[in-house]
Amino acid sequence: MEKFDIIIIGGGPAGLNAAMRLSNMNYKTLVLEKEKVIGGKLNQWDKLFPDFTPAIDVLKYLTENIKQENTQISTSTSVTKIDKSDNLWKVTDSNNNEYLADAVLITTGFDVFDARRKEEYGYGIYPCVITSVDLEKMLETGTINFPIETSDRRRRIAFIQCVGSRDEKSGNHFCSRNCCICAVKQAIEVKEVVPDSDVYCFYMDLRMFGQHYEELYRRSQQEFNVNFVRGRVSEIAPTFDNRVVLKAEDTLLSRPVKMTFDLVVLMVGMNPSEGTKTLSSLLDINDEYGYVVSQDEHVADNLTNKAGVFVAGTCKRQLTVPETMKDADSAAIEIANFLNRR
Amino acid sequence: MIKFGYAPVVSRTLDLDSSDFSLRDELIREVPSYKKCIGCGGCTSTCSAHQHTEFSILRCNMLFRRGKYDVLEKELDKCMLCGKCLLVCPRNVNTRDMIIKMRLLVQHKNKKQ
Amino acid sequence: MDTTMYNPFVMPFAFGVVILFLNLIISFVTWLYNLSKTQRKQVGRHIISWRTLAAIWECLRECLLHRNIFKRNPVLGYMHCSLAFGWSLLIIVGKFEASTYSGSFFTNPWLAIFFRYFEDPSRIFPHKELFTFLMDFLLAVVLSGLLLAVIKRFYSRLMGLKKATRHTPSDRIALISLWCIFPLRLVAESLVAGYRNNGGFLTQSLGNLLAPFNLPIDPIWWAYSIALCLFFIFMPFTRYMHIFTEILLIFLRKWGVVEEDKKTGYTDVELAACSRCGICIDVCPLNTAAKINDTQSVYFIRDIRDNVISHRIINDCLLCNRCVEACPVGIKSTKIRQIYREKKSFENKQYYDYLNPAATGSTTSGNKSPKVLYFAGCMSHLTPGIIDSMKKIFKAAGEDFVFVDEDKNICCGRPLRQQGFLDQANTLMAKNVQLFNSYNAEILVTSCPICYNSFKTEYKDLNIKVMHHTQYINMLIEEGRLQVNHSDKTFAYHDPCEISREENRIFEEPRNILRAAGTLLPLTNEKADALCCGSSLGNTVLSTEQIEDIRNQAMDVLTKDNPDYIVTSCPLCKKTFKKGLRNGPEVKDIAEIIIMG
């Protein structure tokens, strides 16, 4: 049974960043990743808001700066069991390997909201309804695939905010924080790929909290003519030519509006990933959604109620990529302190 | 006179598919700052005309954006161009020019018809 | 030589003169015919009065000597003066010379113009030498002016002008023929002098130099005559038409004719009277601060005359009236702009039908006969500091007043009028007159220069004395009803456009107040020469950045000597400066300054 200083569960941005910090401090680190490749959601995004940095650049930076001799990375590995033995944590993986470590860092991240759960939006039913993740894949290829071919019409693309966020009907009371600005970013990218198109964004509130977010929103209006409609889309119906009609209330006009679209992008929210849910319940540190609960949000946000178990990133709550990275930084410091005290 | 018989119920839905966006696009060319409106309603709340009537710059702006110009002719005439809205707008939208150009565009369109 | 005093080369000149006068007669008659009824009445009332004499005097001063241009720019003044005054004296003295020579005033009209050619050098006539000297001297003066004009055309900066006006093709023909006239005359007269020794100090010297070449005389006289002819024919279609139009303009103005809401013959006279000196370009804040250099009055007027006027040129103007102040001809170009901005009304004319009496007017006071009505104005409601200070001042002075627009009133109508919505503006004005006259008050005090200007110059049936709050506060101080404590603070006062140009010159009142309250700093641009803050409601098409450029230019003047306070008396100026100042002096309304002390 091999012993490590620290086992990091989850090889996404948070896990890799913590691995980078800790391995450079010469701690013996193990990273367990359930997918075939490391990188987590960074592999699914094309460019990051608000400055359009390619996600691959962030991933490259992390992998290049991990100190190889101190780090072992094991992919296609998920954790099935975790328990304490003599002041050490014993982690059992899906291949029945067992590892021992002084500390464990949970960075199991999030999954996007399953858009099929909002049936009225017709994801999986109408071919022209896609999610923001699907759109990211298209943007990576540099083309937007419209399900219906046409050449004689200006394309119309709609973004629908808060799909699986701020919605008791889908069980998620929280705001996913990333979707507002992500839709603005994607709207700009769509306009760049298909300049001769009309882009509409249906929103409840636009929460442009981050630095440069408001500026990007302004640019999307000023330079890219993106239209914003304040109102939640209530239903989506197909047309005879296989496009869809959106219905919403234009709350600024107090009038219902409807419009036909070629492509509808659902801005899916963030839910705890399966791994997050499993681990948080295994350790009994889960909240009502399955997120990992930290010890204290203000002063001990990377600690959990289990000594030696640390947490960072979106397995805790909804964070942006830069926030995740910083959270992993502070987790690395907490862990180093913890290991030094031993 | 006693009214009887049937009359079609007119839907209140703004059908954007039937909208004519040409005037809006023209307005965007002439008053680029028009696009920056975030619908906060500051202009409308300070508006002198709004104190006395239902006249709402925000509403005019939104209807124009949605390509619905029918009721605007009557509405836009109520603006007194005093310019208070200009001082309140958080996005520096040139509201006065917007109203003037809207008037001219709507007037021009109605004349053509 | 030719004693018949005729040569075919005089024909182009004669032809040109006839065409010119026909053109002038047609233009003048059309303009006068197109005057409005009121304007014609004005002419009728004043044509036989001292005003006509005053007009003649002004014509001498302005059309010939160009005193106003001299005052602004001596070199440019000399250029205009030498050309206009020199040329007219050349004609007059020449006429006298020819008349003395032939013994009759009614000689062939061309004799004076081509005198040296027809003169028999052996014939002696009174003051012959004096005439010869004078004519050469005048020719030299005109040539010096011409030289300046040529230099100005190519190096406009030398004349202090930042940009010379652009020219159209017909302008070019007239310009080139004008440039040719006097050098050709010089050469023609010199050639004759070379053969006949009848020249003066200039022509004889040049003639002696040219004599050995044995050049033919007639072709150059032909050229001189043709140049004159071309100039006369093209002149009415170019800016040179201002030479004659300015005379008519001065007379009409002296007779009390003013620009009206709609285009009249007088507008055409003003348009044609522009000499395109370009002075308006250099005083325009759009040019000096925001680098917009194609919409100034001179271009606006030129584009109207050339029939290529665009909406942008019409609308891109602050209406700050700095150009009107500077215009040596006194053309009210901003008024003309407003005429050209006129917009058609919607046919249903339903605007403001909500203005029933109950909707407007104060409901706060039952007092229907106060001494003073206070009308803060729309904008002042966004600068509550001004309203608050005014209330305190009224209280301190124990004034019996009613705050008319406390619950917000309708607009004064001037912003609409500036943008050409005449019907609407008149509707609002009528409503306001009704409101003000419903009180039995003596004085109407307003805190907004726009409202003040409107009440003062555009409202016709207002039975109440209108005062801007600077005037009112000054009156209270002078009457001893308001005590102002002198402090050690320094002030830079910004004159708002609406009360510092044309007929509204509220300069001394605010300065008296500020001198009582502290030290008033002198500025490089103040009073009628003050710069616009950039936020003028007159211009709807400026971008935020352009407005900021204009504001910064005005603010540079105000902050130069590091005053403790920038003081103004306009809510719009105050808001504009406040937006621009991060650190440095505080921006205050003059009423707020009084309250501080």
pLDDT in tens, A222-274: 999 999 999 999 989 999 888 999 999 999 988 899 999 999 999 999 999 99
Handedness of CA C255, C261, C265, C267 (dihedral sign): positive
Q: pLDDT category, C108, cuts 50, 70, 90?
A: confident
Pairwise CB contact (< 8 Å): B82 & C348: no
Give the pLDDT confidence score for residue C164 in this predicted structure: 54
Residue the block writes with tokens 């009415």: C236
Domain span including residue B94: 32-112
Residues in chain A within 8 Å Cβ distance of B21: 198
Any domain includes B21: no
Q: Which pair of tokens denotes residue C269?
A: 């006279």
Any domain includes B87: yes
What topology is assigned to C357-475 in CATH? Rossmann fold (3.40.50)
Q: Are C315 and C341 in contact (CB under 8 A)?
A: yes
Answer whether A36 touches B (CB < 8 Å). Answer: no
Q: Mutating which of B26, B47, B52 best tests the C interface, going by the most C Cβ atoms within 10 A?
A: B52
Residues A262, A123: one domain? yes
Nearest CA in chain B to A205: B38
- The minimal CB distance from B16 to the residues A206, A221, A258 is found for A258
Residues A189, A294: one domain? no
Handedness of CA A310, A315, A320, A321 (dihedral sign): positive
Pairwise CB contact (< 8 Å): C346 & B48: no
pLDDT in tens, C317-339: 999 999 999 999 999 999 999 99
Any domain includes B1: no
| Buried b or exposed e, range C224-245, using 16+ CB within 10 angstroms | bbbbbbbbbbbbbbbbbbbbbb
Residues A296, A188: one domain? no
Instruction: Place domain C259-340 in its CATH homologous superfamily.
Output: Alpha-helical ferredoxin (1.10.1060.10)
Answer whether C583 touches B (CB < 8 Å). Answer: no
Q: pLDDT category, C166, cuts 50, 70, 90?
A: low
Residues A124, A249: one domain? yes
Any domain includes B60: yes
Residues in chain B within 8 Å Cβ distance of C575: 87
Residues A127, A250: one domain? yes
Residues in chain C within 8 Å Cβ distance of B34: none
Pairwise CB contact (< 8 Å): C540 & B78: no
Give the pLDDT confidence score for residue B112 in this predicted structure: 77
Q: Which residues contact C154 (CB under 8 A, 6 or more apart)?
A: none
Q: Rounded to whole angstroms, how far apart are CA atoms A271 and A171?
A: 10
Residues in chain B within 8 Å Cβ distance of C415: 80-83, 96
Q: pLDDT category, C3, cuts 50, 70, 90?
A: low
CA distance C346 to chain B (A): 7
Helix axes C50-59, C242-254, angle to 10 degrees: 150
Q: Are C285 and C297 in contact (CB under 8 A)?
A: no
Give the pLDDT confidence score for residue C356 in this predicted structure: 56
Residue ranges, CATH 3.40.50, chain C:
357-475, 484-596
Residues A48, A166: one domain? no
Residues A251, A123: one domain? yes
pLDDT, greater one: B1 or C306: C306
Handedness of CA B59, B60, B61, B63 (dihedral sign): positive
Answer whether C541 touches B (CB < 8 Å). Answer: yes
DSSP β-ladder status, A2-9 and A53-54: unpaired
Domain span including residue A184: 115-270
**Neighbouring C-beta atoms of residue A254, cutoff 10 Å:** 11
Q: Rounded to whole angstroms, how far apart are CA atoms C282 and C278?
A: 7
> Would you give the distance in Å from CA B16 to the centre of its chain?
15
Q: Rounded to whole angstroms, how far apart are CA atoms C297 and C258?
A: 18
Q: pLDDT category, C73, cuts 50, 70, 90?
A: confident
CATH number of the domain bearing residue B82: 1.10.1060.10
Quote the number of domains for chain B.
Answer: 1
End-to-end CA distance of chain B: give it in Å, rounded: 33
Pairwise CB contact (< 8 Å): C424 & B80: yes
The mean pLDDT value for A177-205 works out to 96
Range in A288-292, C108-112, C284-288, C466-470 the model is least confident about? C108-112
Q: Which of A270, A295, A313 is the last residue of a domain?
A: A270
Q: Which pair of tokens denotes residue C86?
A: 């020199």
Residues A100, A127: one domain? no
CA distance B66 to chain C (A): 22
Any domain includes B15: no
Q: Which of A235, A270, A305 is the last residue of a domain?
A: A270
Per the prediction, chain C carries an average pLDDT of: 88
| Buried b or exposed e, range C32-44, using 16+ CB within 10 angstroms | bebbbeebbebbe
- The minimal CB distance from C354 to the residues B53, B100, B107 is found for B53
In this complex, whether B and A touch, counting 3 or more CB pairs under 8 angstroms, is: yes
Pairwise CB contact (< 8 Å): C415 & B107: no
Q: What is the CA radius of gyration of chain C?
A: 30
Handedness of CA A198, A203, A207, A210 (dihedral sign): negative
No. of helices (H) and no. of strands (E), chain A? 7, 19
| Four-point Cα dihedral A128, A133, A139, A141, nearest 10 | -90
Quote the number of domains for chain A.
Answer: 2
Which residues of B have a CB under 8 Å from any CB of C?
33, 46, 48-49, 51-53, 73-74, 77-78, 80-84, 87-88, 92, 94, 96-97, 100, 103-104, 107
Q: pLDDT category, C6, cuts 50, 70, 90?
A: confident
Q: pLDDT category, C1, cuts 50, 70, 90?
A: very low
Q: Are B94 and B31 in contact (CB under 8 A)?
A: yes
- The minimal CB distance from B87 to the residues C352, C355, C575 is found for C575
Pairwise CB contact (< 8 Å): B92 & C421: no
Residues in chain B within 8 Å Cβ distance of A196: none
Q: Which of A216, A244, A270 is the last residue of a domain?
A: A270
Nearest CA in chain B to C543: B94
pLDDT in tens, C457-515: 999 888 899 999 999 999 999 999 998 889 999 999 999 999 999 888 999 999 999 99
Q: Are A5 and A103 in contact (CB under 8 A)?
A: yes
**Neighbouring C-beta atoms of residue C508, cutoff 10 Å:** 13
CATH number of the domain bearing residue A175: 3.50.50.60
Nearest CA in chain A to B90: A218
pLDDT, greater one: A243 or C367: A243
Residues A219, A290: one domain? no
Residue ranges, CATH 1.10.1060.10, chain C:
259-340
H-only helix segments in chain A:
13-24, 55-65, 132-141, 179-193, 213-222, 274-282, 321-341
pLDDT in tens, B1-50: 566 667 667 788 888 888 889 999 999 999 999 999 999 999 998 988 88
* CA distances, C16 to each of A110, A288, C110, C243, C281 (Å): 91, 100, 12, 16, 33
CATH 3.30.530 fits C484-596, yes or no: no
Q: Are C131 and C100 in contact (CB under 8 A)?
A: yes
In this complex, whether C and A touch, counting 3 or more CB pairs under 8 angstroms, is: no
Q: Rounded to whole angstroms, how far apart are CA atoms A324 and A332?
A: 12
